[in-house]
Structure 1
């Protein structure tokens, strides 16, 4: 399913440079291939906004080539933005009002940077709930990432996330728990997913309201789950969209926060991610950083380039299969009219016809 560069969004050029197929709008117009229009609600902070675009767009574009993808990024006006991000949004992003009028076949909602103890006090809360309410009536399926999942299971069913007391941070082994569900068809029965969060929603709480868990980890908890209708809302607590070095960049940021006094303790290594040699290099860097902080010297350079060959991506292939499954099912049941969520024969309360099975 090739992406279509229907705007001048820089992410399209970056993906072309990586070797991804991205069609020009003129070329796409002359292909006799169906379009799928996917909304992309980007709630990430300014520093991560464009990287998040690339991560999700990359997975969508790697799906089966049975349709052309038009991804429509938008955000919420209530999120604080700097001047550069505001300019990027003004030039390249759509508005929610416009997308409501035109319609969407599917929707992806990113996580966000938490700033409040209670999710309902976050600046994104009201806007996110409004988008979700519209999507439930008008969009075939909505995919929610991490904090968006936490917020929406609270909004929809009153389930509050549980503080862990530490950061669940690293790459964790998962198993498929509902192998008959088409979203996990052809996934490895064991696979890795990165996690990065201080809170979680537990299996028992989700199952108490009819949410079905599709994949989970003994260490990392629930990763993938679906709403009681088994497709309209898809929830993830992990980050299969992460790049190979996303956790390394997070670790670098946390060492900088320690150096500047923002955090009191030195950050631990992300679990199950770094090779022994990489840990040794970073332990040496910690000594260098500690000495510089004690002596009032500038922040030493982080050895990122040296470490690039010492971290592995063990989750990307499984993520591609999952996204292909999700988009393939959207393609099968969404209406040709973007303003209608389903073909006429589809039951909105059981869109994949699964509830009477098993």
Structure 2
């Protein structure tokens, strides 16, 4: 929550120059604090549907202990669902028509299951465009996660993602490149982010689109966090700061089972910078006995998840909470008291944050 400059104390101006959000007294008196309504467009496949809900709900809830949030999950009707997942959606999710009628202050768009390299051929393409275009006109800010970032970069800015030679998979160190932007002003200057993707939109593409790059990998080879040119109306993640500590372990386990089923030619590599020496030793032992059992036709050893799960480290969630907390704080400063209007009347929608 911001500080109110209720007198001419020089410290207020000094903090403003550092990028800290300081409200003048007139603006503070006109600001009406209410609950925030945040939409979650969950496009993940059935197996990850509920886990994705938990990850983003947790990220929102951890970001601010004072504010009150109504999180409204919805999905795209065109996505195929199994019986259990559809029953869950029917019982707990809202429809896009309901979302559009009632309005949102903020929107989060998840990734999705993709078949083939071309995003524009995916069944979710046109419905996703409809949601994103509506949100840009009617929602204060939209946060895109990984594949959603790739989709918006293509259909809004004409920047297609590129296939990588190898999957970017693991936990990677990043650096803040714009320390005075309100989303990054008070977070760690270096921090980790999980990634799990075969494709990338490169820094040059973000620059060509006129976007603001806020966080990159230390060698500047990868953008993790960027915003639309106005600084807030669209926020792009290429990584997965919402991931739980065990998320990469679950992905690795699925890869191992694909190897067992013959769908992979070799035992999968470890996610980079994720397993410590102890966990690697356990997994190397498991790999040895698994391959031996597969070759001899013996019973397969159990995947050693329980042996290592308590040793896994999480080096990203505190900064993820800080970034999302800043995002939500900015939405509070900008959004209209009426839920179906994106900005307060005096806000310049082309530059809501007054950035240079």
Mark yes or no: TM-score above 0.5: yes
Gaps of 5+ in 2: 2-31
TM-fit CA distance, 1:63: 2.0
Question: Runs of at least 4 residues of structure 1 off by over 4 A?
Answer: none
Instruction: Label 1:299 to 1:86 Cα distance change in 2 as closer, same or farther (>3 A).
Output: farther
Count residues in correspondence: 325
TM-fit CA distance, 1:280: 1.0
Separation of aligned partners in 1, 2:268 and 2:231? 38
1:279-298 to 2 correspondence within 5 Å? 279-298=280-299
Give per-residue Cα distances to partners, 1:224-254, cap 9 Å, x unaligned.
0001111100000001110011111111110
Equivalent in the alignment of 2:230: 229
TM-fit CA distance, 1:114: 1.9
The answer to whether residue 270 in structure 2 is matched with residue 269 in structure 1 is yes
- Match of 1:282, SS? helix
Give per-residue Cα distances to partners, 1:327-352, cap 9 Å, x unaligned.
00001110111111000011111111
1:293-332 to 2 correspondence within 5 Å? 293-332=294-333
When the two chains are superposed, the root-mean-square deviation of aligned CA atoms in Å is 1.5
Residue pair 1:214, 1:224 contacting (<8 A) in 2 also: yes
Residue pair 1:33, 1:66 contacting (<8 A) in 2 also: no
- Match of 1:184, SS? coil
TM-score (norm. length: structure 1): 0.88
1:5-154 to 2 correspondence within 5 Å? 34-154=34-154
Equivalent in the alignment of 1:167: 167
Give per-residue Cα distances to partners, 1:3-22, cap 9 Å, x unaligned.
xxxxxxxxxxxxxxxxxxxx
TM-fit CA distance, 1:296: 3.8
Separation of aligned partners in 1, 2:183 and 2:325? 9
TM-fit CA distance, 1:39: 0.4
Separation of aligned partners in 2, 1:311 and 1:127? 38
Residue pair 2:44, 2:110 contacting (<8 A) in 1 also: yes
Separation of aligned partners in 1, 2:297 and 2:124? 38
TM-fit CA distance, 1:321: 0.5
Instruction: Label 1:65 to 1:276 Cα distance change in 2 as closer, same or farther (>3 A).
Output: closer
Equivalent in the alignment of 1:245: 246
Give per-residue Cα distances to partners, 1:271-324, cap 9 Å, x unaligned.
011111111110111122212322344543211111012210000110111011
Give per-residue Cα distances to partners, 1:63-82, cap 9 Å, x unaligned.
22342100000001111111
Equivalent in the alignment of 2:217: 217
Instruction: Label 1:331 to 1:298 Cα distance change in 2 as closer, same or farther (>3 A).
Output: farther
Separation of aligned partners in 2, 1:265 and 1:96? 43
Residue pair 2:232, 2:353 contacting (<8 A) in 1 also: yes
Gaps of 5+ in 1: 2-31
Equivalent in the alignment of 1:5: none
Give per-residue Cα distances to partners, 1:37-68, cap 9 Å, x unaligned.
00000011111111111111001011223421
